[in-house]
Structure 1
Amino acid sequence: MDPFTERTPRVVSAVKLLRGAERRKAGRFLAEGENAVTEALASVPVHELFYTENAAARYPDLIEKARVAGVRSSLVTDRAIRALSDTVTPPGVVAVCDLLDVPLDAALASTTRLLAVPVAIGEPGNAGTVIRVADAVGADAAILAGDSVDPHNGKCVRSSAGSLFHLPIVRERNTDVVLDTLSGAGIQILATAADGEVDLDEADDLLARPTAWLFGNEAHGLDPAVAARADHRVRIPIRGRAESLNLATAASICLYASARVQHRDS
């Protein structure tokens, strides 16, 4: 059988999932590359797999695993895989998966201890990195609040390095709903702020509590009204000459600090 081309209807349908509106409409997204596809097969319903001849030679076990799982798997041309990819050098294997995000209430439980809550995060690479860090420190969920990037964006999926499939992901455009729900669940809200009244190095008593960390937009930080609703505003001490830290770095430091204290005290 000849490989599918970029004009094959099933490929054409999958290409549409590169657009956010189509992902929402179909309830599906594309996971690209060996790492993402492997995690997808282990975690969520996968409806289709497209791969090139070169990928078949490089990832035979992965493609066989998909076939054994009953996933419809199709050889495609290099032009077709380029159409399915938003990278300069496509890795040659793409899976069509169900969307991963869950409702806010479904991500919270009586045992919830640590949440990453980027607010109005616009850069998909940063969103993916925050999700990856949240996974690495053992956070219970990542909540993308406000007008944030779609976590199913290709760059976000790649930046998460598979972590997107490991913990609950929430999208809630109404930031007030997020804050109200967290407070109602008894979870303290901490916001990063350069002029915060609490020093992270002196916050172990706070960090031991169930915590949701708010991280602001890359360019503008947290909206002052959102920061004001936090239980505490926390500053990361900077002892060198750097003026500030970027979003992903600040998130890494704060989430690790909470995880260190919580695991020490557990």
Structure 2
Amino acid sequence: MIDNPRSPRVRAVAKLAKRSAREETGLFLVEGPQSVSEALAFHPEVVVELFVAANVMERHAALVRAAGEAGIPVEPVKESVLEAMADTVTPQGVIAVARMLPTTVADLLARKPRLVAVLEEIRDPGNAGTIIRAADAAGADGVIFTGNSVDAYNPKVVRSTTGSIFHVPVAQNGTLEAALEAVRAAGLQVLAADVKGADLPHVRDRLTAPTAWLFGNEAHGLLDEQLELVDHVVKLPIYGHAESLNLATAASVCLYESAFAHRA
């Protein structure tokens, strides 16, 4: 059992909260039983090791058993050790270290997707993770991060996906222009969600086509020159008195509207 929060092994795991360490090692943190469970169920081959607080080993016996069956080392640790490893203030007793699942835009589009989310300059990790989760729930075929968006393997992004990062291909680090050119060449129309657009109910007839939804930065949205790159600009009408919708909420509605249209 690991009982020293300052040991080199513990520090190496804790460093994965930093992007530089993730890029150097190709590893990232997976915190919490739900996310770890999804990793083991969908991509056990990328899970390197599992750390479980000794006082909750029995509670998470199913995870420990699944890891063992997949040949993944399971290390009991003191609670203080898990706290030192975790990015969260109050970890849930389980942390895995996993290898990234690198996907290129070309790889994603080779699967002939019908619904994709493109995130341009999304900075908030909670928003990014929630959009990945919403894309997964809506049956989207992938998510593309462009520009200076947050790292998809940021611990808060991973936590916010609650395991969906292991279900949906995520490509990142390309430019918006290149991504939109590629998705259009793959036969998808590009719809931008922006307050300058037409109300979504007025363009529902367009949603039956394969679609890439473009979502912009939380603070300034999409620039005019970026909107010129898309096929249609769409907004969600506000029927009540709310000033606006949170980005992740708006993205969820847009993705589900396409999902409904594709399944009608």
Which residue of structure 2 aligns with residue 21 of structure 1?
A: 20
Aligned with 1:64: secondary structure? helix
Which residue of structure 2 aligns with residue 206 of structure 1?
A: 206
Which residue of structure 1 aligns with residue 189 of structure 2?
A: 188
**Bigger mean CA deviation after superposition, 175-184 or 123-132:** 175-184
Which residue of structure 1 aligns with residue 230 of structure 2?
A: 230
Which residue of structure 2 aligns with residue 56 of structure 1?
A: 57
Compute the displacement of 1:51 (Å).
Answer: 1.1
Report sequence identity in percent.
46
Q: Deviations over 1:44-87 (max 9, x none)?
A: 22111111112202211111211221111111122211111111
Q: Which amino acid aligns with 1:33?
A: G
Kept in 1, the 8 Å contact 2:30–2:98? The answer is yes
Aligned with 1:5: secondary structure? coil
Q: Which amino acid aligns with 2:134?
A: V
Aligned with 2:57: secondary structure? helix
Which residue of structure 1 aligns with residue 248 of structure 2?
A: 248
Q: Which amino acid aligns with 1:137?
A: A
What CA distance in whole angstroms lies between the structure 1 residues aligned with 2:157 and 2:149? 12
Q: Which amino acid aligns with 2:236?
A: I
Q: Deviations over 1:165-224 (max 9, x none)?
A: 10101103411111111122221110012121x321022221111100011111111122
**Bigger mean CA deviation after superposition, 6-15 or 63-72:** 6-15
Map 1:158-197 → 2, pairs under 5 A:
158-196=159-197
Q: Which amino acid aligns with 1:195?
A: K
Corresponding residue pairs, total: 262
TM-score normalised to structure 2 length: 0.95
What CA distance in whole angstroms lies between the structure 1 residues aligned with 2:174 and 2:234? 24
Q: Which amino acid aligns with 2:13?
A: A
Kept in 2, the 8 Å contact 1:104–1:172? The answer is no
Kept in 2, the 8 Å contact 1:4–1:11? The answer is no
What CA distance in whole angstroms lies between the structure 2 residues aligned with 1:4 and 1:179? 50
Over 3 Å counting, the alpha-carbon distance change for 1:48 and 1:112 in structure 2 is: same
Kept in 2, the 8 Å contact 1:52–1:77? The answer is yes
Q: Which amino acid aligns with 1:133?
A: A
Q: Which amino acid aligns with 2:49?
A: E
Which residue of structure 1 aligns with residue 216 of structure 2?
A: 216
Over 3 Å counting, the alpha-carbon distance change for 1:38 and 1:258 in structure 2 is: same
Q: Deviations over 1:13-71 (max 9, x none)?
A: 22221111111111110101100111111222211111111220221111121122111
**Structure 1 segments (4+ residues) deviating >4 Å:** none
What CA distance in whole angstroms lies between the structure 2 residues aligned with 1:72 and 1:110? 33
Q: Deviations over 1:211-246 (max 9, x none)?
A: 000111111111221122111101212122222211
Which residue of structure 2 aligns with residue 3 of structure 1?
A: 2
Aligned with 1:239: secondary structure? coil
Kept in 1, the 8 Å contact 2:4–2:81? The answer is yes
Kept in 2, the 8 Å contact 1:148–1:173? The answer is no
Instruction: Extract unaligned runs of 5+ from structure 2.
Output: none
Q: Which amino acid aligns with 1:61?
A: A
What CA distance in whole angstroms lies between the structure 2 residues aligned with 1:258 and 1:249? 15
Which residue of structure 2 aligns with residue 131 of structure 1?
A: 132
**Bigger mean CA deviation after superposition, 100-109 or 2-11:** 2-11
Compute the displacement of 1:117 (Å).
Answer: 1.0
Kept in 1, the 8 Å contact 2:14–2:87? The answer is no
Kindly report the root-mean-square deviation, in angstroms, between the aligned alpha carbons of the 2 structures: 1.4
Which residue of structure 2 aligns with residue 74 of structure 1?
A: 75
Aligned with 2:221: secondary structure? coil
Aligned with 1:58: secondary structure? coil
Kept in 1, the 8 Å contact 2:112–2:186? The answer is no
Instruction: Extract unaligned runs of 5+ from structure 1.
Output: none
